[in-house]
Amino acid sequence: MAPTRPVRTAGRPPAVQTPPDPVQAPMAQAQEPLARARASLGAARHAARLEALLGDPRDPRNPYGRRALWAADPDALPAPPAGLPGIADVPGADQLARALRPLFRRDLALAHAWSIRPLSHAAVPHPAAALLGPAALLAAAGGVLHSTARIVDGLSRHQAAARQWRPVLATVFADLLACESLTAAALRSCPATAQHPHPHPDPDSGPGMDPAPAPGMDLDPGMDLDPGMDLDPDREMLAAVTGCLVPRLAVELLGDLELVLNECGFEGHSLERRTLARIVRHRVLAGAGRAATDAAQARIVRGLNAAHATGQDEGAQHTALLRGTGTAEAAGTGTAEEAGAAALARLARRLRAERRALRAACAATAVHDPADPAARALADRQGLLVLAARTLGACQAAAGTHRSFPGGAGWALLALGRITVRLGLPLPAPLPDAQPGVWEELVRRAANGVDCDLYARRPAW
C-alpha cells in the first residue's frame, strides 16, 4: 500500500503517514507495559539507593541532615555523593523525577544545586529541567502534609476543635495528587532525544551511576525552555501549564498547611514550621518565583494563539474530560463506587462545557497579547482545564489496578470540585462527600510512613 499524502493545512508542515505494520505494532504495544514496569522498578531502586546515601535527616552528624543543611550557606552546600541518579541512569524524565524524589523531599536548595541547575545547563537542552522544579516543590510540600496530618490526627483524638482541620488536609492531599498527575504527564511527554543525550545503561542491570554529577552553574530562576527547541504543541502546552499552575497551587497549599500548624499551636521555632518556612524561602529555586510562572503563563497564551491560527483543536489535552462523560454516567448510584463515578461524569460534563466556552472566547480575538490581563485570564482557565483532564485521566488509568486509592473517585472528586470552584462555576448537585475517605487514606499513610503521592512509596526516613 502506498503512503498517503495528507492535505496541506495552514500553519502545519506536510507529513507522510504510513499504515502500521500488522505484526510489529501489536508486538510493540504488548511490550509497552513491561517496559514501563521495568523503568518504574529501576527508578525505585535508584530512589532507595539515593535515600541511603542521604542518610537520616535527624542525625546531627549527617552532612545531609537537617542541622547541617539549615546551618550551611546557600552557596556552600555539601557536595553530592557519588551515585546521584542522572539522565544517563534513569530512562524517562518522569522516572528521573521519581528517582530523585528523596532529594526533593530532603531540601529544595540541595535539589536545585545537585540536579535542577546542572540539568538546565546540560550540553543538550533538556525540557525536563524546567519540570523538575515543580516536581521538587510537590515532593517537599507532601513531606509537610505528611507531618501535619500526623499532628492533626493525634490532636483530634482528644480535642474536638482540631477535627475542623481534617477536611482542610484532605483537600490539600487531593490538590497535591492532582498536581502530581499533571506534572507526571508533562515529564512523560518530554522527548526521548532530549532525555538521553548519550547512551545509558539498563536500570535493572546494575548501579550504572556516574562517578560525579556535572559541576553546578548559575541558574536564572525565571528560566524558560530553549525557544529553539522543536516542541510538539501538546507537549509544550503541558510543560507551560505545569510551570505556571503547579508552583502557584503548591504555594497556596503550603499556606493552608502553615495555617493548620499555627492553629494547632506550632509556632515559628518548631521543626514543622521551620521546615515549611525553608521551603517557602527556597521556592524560587523550584520555579515558583514570579518570573518563572509569568513566563510559563505567556507560553500558554502563545499556545492558544497558535491553536487559533492553525485551526488546531487542543483536544488532546482534554481527552479525559471527553471520555469522562461516557459510560460512567450510565453506572447509576447503586453503590458508593457507582455514585462516585456518576459524580465524576457530571463534573466532567460541566468542565467540558467550560472548555467550549473557553474556545469561543479565544476565537473572539485573533491574537492575544501575553501582557493583556484578559489573555492571562484565558491562560489560567486553560491551565485549570488541563489540570482537570490530567486528574481525571490519572484516576481512570489507575482504576482496576492494584493501586485502589488512586483508582477510586474520592480524591478526584475533591480535586475536580476545587478546580470547578476556581473556574467560578457552580458545582453540580448532588455530589457525595469524599473528604472523610480521603482523610482516612491520608491518616493511614501518615501512620505507616507512606509518601503523599500517587505511588504510595514508603521512604526510609
pLDDT in tens, 326-373: 444 444 446 888 899 999 999 999 999 999 999 999 988 877 899 999
Q: What is the pLDDT of residues 73-132, one digit of tens each?
A: 888 899 998 888 887 788 789 999 999 999 999 999 999 999 999 988 876 677 888 999
- 433 Cβ partners below 8 Å, 6+ apart? none
pTM beyond cutoff 0.85: no
Are 147 and 444 contacting, i.e. CB atoms less than 8 angstroms apart?
Answer: no
Integer angstrom CA distances of residue 414 from 76, 167, 368, 438, 449 = 42, 10, 32, 9, 23
* Closest to 244 (Cα-Cα) out of 222, 269, 229, 260: 222
Which residues make beta-bridge pairs with 4?
A: 17
Q: Which amino acid is at 359?
A: R
* Helices 166-188 & 410-422 angle (0-180, nearest 10): 90
- Of the candidates 157, 22, 41, the one whose C-alpha atom is nearest the C-alpha of residue 90 is 41
Reading the block at residue 240, the C-alpha cell is 507551560
- Strand, helix or coil for residue 289: coil
Residue pair 118/214 in contact by the 8 Å Cβ criterion: yes
Which grid coordinates belong to 29?
504495544
Crossing angle (nearest 10°) for helices 271-281 and 129-156: 160
356, three cell numbers = 467550549
Q: In the prediction, which pLDDT does 23 show? A: 44
Does the structure show a pLDDT above 80 at 321? no
Residue 192 CA neighbour count, 13 Å, CB half: 3
Model confidence pLDDT, tens digit, residues 265-295: 999 999 999 999 999 999 999 989 999 999 9
**How does residue 437 score in pLDDT terms, banded at 50, 70 and 90?**
very high
Percent of the chain with pLDDT over 70: 75
CA dist 416 and 181 (Å) reads 12
Q: What is the DSSP letter of 171?
A: H
Short-list 201, 249, 382, CA closest to 304: 382
Give the residue carrying C-alpha cell 498547611.
257
Angle among Cα 321, 323, 328 to the nearest 5 degrees reads: 105
Nearest C-alpha neighbor of 431 from the set 317, 321, 350, 369: 350
User: pLDDT tens, 310-320?
Assistant: 666 555 566 66
- Please state the rounded mean pLDDT for residues 221-237: 50
Sign of the alpha-carbon dihedral angle for 79, 82, 88, 94: negative
**C-alpha closest to that of 286 among 86, 125, 138, 80:** 138
190-216 confidence digits (pLDDT tens): 875 444 433 333 333 332 223 232 222
Q: Residue 191's pLDDT is what?
A: 75
Under DSSP, the state recorded for 110 is H
Query: Does the structure show a pLDDT above 50 at 6?
Result: no
| Listed residue (79, 77, 86, 81) closest to 51, CA to CA | 81
